[in-house]
Amino acid sequence: MTRAWLLVLLLAAPRPQAPVDFDRDIRPILKASCLKCHGAEGKPKGQLRLDLRAAAFRGGAGGQAIIPGKSADSPLYKLLVDPDDDARMPQKAPRLSTAQIELIRRWIDEGVRWPEDDHGGEQLHWSLRPLARPAVPPSSWGRTPIDAFIAAKLKEKGFEPSPEADRRSLLRRVTYDLIGLPPTPEETDAFLSDPAPDAYEKVVDRLLASPRHGERWARHWLDAVHYADTHGHDQDRPRPNAWPYRDYVVRAFNEDKPYAQFVQDQLAGDVLRPGDPQALVATGFIAAGPWDESSQMHIMADTVDKKIAQNLDRDDMLTATMSTFVGATVQCARCHNHKFDPIPQAEYYALQACFAGVDRANRPFDDDPALNRRRQELLRRRTDLAVRKKARPEPFLDADAERDVAAWEKGRSDSPGVWMVIDADAAESKHGATLTRQVDGSIVSSGLAPDVDVYTITARPSLRRITALRLEALTVEDHPYKGPGREDNGNFHLSEFRLLRSRAEGPPSPVELCNPAADFNQNGWGVAQALDGKPETAWAIYPEVGKSHYAIFELRVPIEVAEGESLVFVLEQLQGRHRLIARPRLSATSMPPPFRIEPLPANVAQIAAVDAAKRSREQKIELAAWVLDLRIRKELDALPAPRQVYAAASDFPPIAKFTPARTPRPIYLLKRGDVTKPGEEIRPGGLSCVPGLEAAFRLADPGDEGARRAALAAWITDPRNVLSWRSIVNRVWHHHFGRGIADSPNDLGRMGAAPTHPELLDWLAVEFRDGGGSLKKLHRLIVTSAVYQQSSAGRADFAKTDASNLLLWRMNRLRLDAEQVRDSILQLSGKIDLTLGGPAVKQFHYEDPNPEVTPKVDYGRYNVDHPDNFRRAIYRWIFRTLPDPFMETLDCPDASLLTGARNVSVTPLQAMAVLNDRFVVRQSEHLAARLAGPDRVAAAYRLILQRAPTAAESAAVGDYMEKRGAANAVRVLLNSNEFMFLD
Question: In this model, does residue 850 exceed pLDDT 70?
Answer: no
- Residue pLDDT, tens place only, 706-745: 999 999 999 999 999 999 999 999 999 999 999 999 999 9
Q: How confident is the model at residue 54 (pLDDT cuts 50, 70, 90)?
A: low
Query: What does the pLDDT average to over 817-843?
Result: 97
Contacts of 530 (CB under 8 A, 6+ apart): 494, 495, 496, 497, 516, 537, 538, 539, 551
Domains recognised in the chain with CATH numbers = 21-122 (no CATH), 258-362+661-717 (no CATH), 420-597 (2.60.120), 815-982 (no CATH)
d(CA 906, CA 359): 40
pLDDT of residue 414: 38
d(CA 92, CA 78): 17
Residue-averaged pLDDT of the chain: 88
Residue 703 has pLDDT above 80, yes or no: yes
What Cα–Cα distance (Å) separates residue 85 from each residue in 32, 78, 89, 91? 20, 13, 8, 9
Task: Sort 236 into a burial class: Cβ within 10 Å, 0-12 / 13-18 / 19+.
Answer: buried
| % pLDDT > 90, the chain | 56
Mean predicted confidence (pLDDT) in 12-36? 77
CA–CA gap between residue 689 and residue 722 (Å, rounded): 11
- For 472-488, the pLDDT digits (tens) are 887 776 666 666 676 66
pTM summary value: 0.76
Q: Is the pLDDT of residue 440 over 90?
A: no
Distance of CA 105 to the CA centre of its chain: 50
Maximum separation of any 2 CA atoms in the chain, in Å:
146
What distance in Å separates the CA atoms of residue 902 and residue 540, rounded to the nearest whole number? Answer: 48
Mean pLDDT of 26-50: 79
Q: Quote the CA–CA distance of 287 and 362 in Å, as a whole number.
A: 10
User: 168-177, 272-281, 455-464, 762-771: which range is least confident on average?
Assistant: 455-464
What is d(CA 299, CA 485) in angstroms, rounded to the nearest whole number? 20
Which amino acid, 617? R
With CA atoms as reference, report the closest residue to 814 among 727, 734, 893, 752.
Answer: 734
Has residue 877 got a pLDDT over 70? yes
Non-local CB neighbours of 959 within 8 Å, separated by 6+ positions? none
Report d(CA 437, CA 441) in Å as an integer. Answer: 7
Judge whether 546 and 429 are in contact, CB under 8 Å. Answer: no
Q: Which residues contact 940 (CB under 8 A, 6 or more apart)?
A: 927, 931, 957, 966, 969, 970, 973
Rg of the chain, C-alpha, whole Å = 36
**Residue 718's CB: how many other CB atoms inside 10 A?**
17
CA distance 298 to 292: 10
Sheet holding 420-421, edge to edge: 420-421, 584-589, 465-473, 549-560, 513-518
Q: Distances in Å between the alpha carbon of 395 and those of 392, 400, 628?
A: 7, 8, 11
**Cα–Cα distances in Å, from 578 out to 54, 65, 572, 575?**
69, 70, 17, 8
Is residue 857 packed enough to be buried (19+ CB in 10 Å), middle (13-18) or exposed (0-12)? buried
Q: What is the pLDDT of residues 97-152, one digit of tens each?
A: 888 888 889 988 888 887 755 555 556 899 999 999 999 999 999 999 999 999 99
Give the confidence band of 949 by pLDDT, cuts at 50, 70, 90.
very high
Tell me the mean pLDDT in the region 223-235: 95
Nearest to 779 by CA among 727, 744, 732: 732
Give Cα separations from 147 to 138, 152, 791 (angstroms).
10, 8, 15
Q: Which residues contact 549 (CB under 8 A, 6 or more apart)?
A: 472, 473, 484, 492, 518, 519, 520, 541
Cα–Cα distance, 82 to 78 (Å, whole number)? 6
User: Is the model's pLDDT at 345 over the cut of 90?
Assistant: yes
DSSP 196-265: -TTHHHHHHHHHHHSHHHHHHHHHHHHHHTT--SB--TTT--B-TT-HHHHHHHHHHHHHT--HHHHHHH
Cα separation, 794 vs 976, whole angstroms: 20
Q: How far is Cα 360 from Cα 231, in angstroms, rounded to an integer?
A: 10
Q: Is residue 648 within 8 Å of residue 360, measured between CB atoms?
A: yes
Residues comprising the chain, all counted: 983
Positions of E strands within 614-765: 643-649, 668-670, 678-681
User: What confidence tier does 16 reach under pLDDT thresholds 50, 70, 90?
Assistant: low
Question: How many CB atoms are closer than 10 A to CB 864?
Answer: 14
> Closest by alpha carbon to 355, among 714, 715, 711, 705?
705
Q: What is the pLDDT of residues 955-981, one digit of tens each?
A: 999 999 999 999 999 999 999 999 999
Residue of 353, 263, 431 lying closest to 705 (CA atoms): 353
Read out DSSP for 856-886? EEESTTS-TTSGGGGB-GGGB---SSS--HH
Within a 10 A sphere around the Cβ of 686, how many other Cβ atoms?
25
Q: Are 766 and 136 in contact (CB under 8 A)?
A: no
Q: Is the pLDDT of residue 389 over 70?
A: yes
Question: CA angle 482-488-494, nearest 5°?
Answer: 85
Asked if residues 725 and 769 have their Cβ atoms less than 8 Å apart, the reply is: yes
Measured CA distances, 178 to 260, 760, 896 (Å): 22, 22, 26
Query: Which of the residue ranges 10-19, 152-161, 358-367, 868-877 would you say has the lowest mean pLDDT?
Result: 10-19
**Distance between terminal CA atoms of the chain?**
88
CA–CA distance, 690 with 924 (Å, rounded to integer) = 54
CA–CA distance, 174 with 149 (Å, rounded to integer): 22
Tens digit of each residue's pLDDT (9 = 90 or more) over 192-203: 999 999 999 999
Please list, residue by residue across 742-772, b when 16 or more beta carbons sit within 10 angstroms of its beta carbon and e when fewer do: bbbbbbbbbebbebbbbbbbbbbbbbbbeee
CA–CA gap between residue 914 and residue 910 (Å, rounded): 6
